[in-house]
């Protein structure tokens, strides 16, 4: 909310008025809202020990939890990617298509 309480003179603007008129003063206020989603979790003993180890150096719990969530999501993406590669490697149609593309590329290279 912009109520001018954190008044910053760099944001104060004056508009041009006709000669003899009082200058019109207004304040430019840009409000940016950062909405954070708060969650509540129950930690078992193992998770509590892990959190304690990660925050022992002074890092904030919220920072550690955010990083862990992001890393877990990245790891899941990698697992999904590995599964996709394994599926394609087991697919004879995919092998045939790769061989076909390789032959086309070789033919283009030979002509060029």
Residue 52 in domain = no
Residue 91 in domain = yes
Residue 31 in domain = no
pTM comes to 0.48
Q: Which of 54, 80, 78, 79 lies closest to 65 in space, CA to CA?
A: 54
Instruction: Name the DSSP class of 58.
Output: S
The contacts of residue 8 (CB under 8 Å, 6+ apart) are none
68/74 Cα distance (integer angstroms): 10
Please give the residue range of the domain that contains residue 86: 60-111
Residue 92 in domain = yes
Residue 64 in domain = yes
Number of structural domains, the chain?
A: 1
Residue 53 in domain = no
1/27 Cα distance (integer angstroms): 13
pLDDT tens string 11-59: 555 555 566 665 555 555 666 666 678 888 899 999 999 999 999 999 9
Q: Would you state the pLDDT for residue 41? A: 87
* 16 touches 2 (CB < 8 A): no
């Amino acid at each position: 909310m912009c109520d001018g309480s954190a008044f910053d003179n760099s944001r104060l603007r004056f508009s041009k008025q006709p000669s003899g008129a009082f200058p019109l003063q207004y304040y430019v206020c840009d409000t940016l809202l950062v909405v954070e989603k708060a969650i509540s979790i129950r930690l078992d003993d193992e998770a509590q020990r892990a959190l304690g180890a990660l925050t022992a150096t002074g890092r904030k719990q919220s920072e550690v939890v955010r990083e862990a969530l992001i890393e877990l999501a990245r790891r899941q993406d990698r697992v999904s990617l590995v599964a996709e590669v394994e599926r394609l490697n087991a697919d004879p149609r995919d092998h045939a298509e790769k061989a076909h593309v390789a032959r086309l590329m070789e033919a283009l290279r030979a002509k060029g």
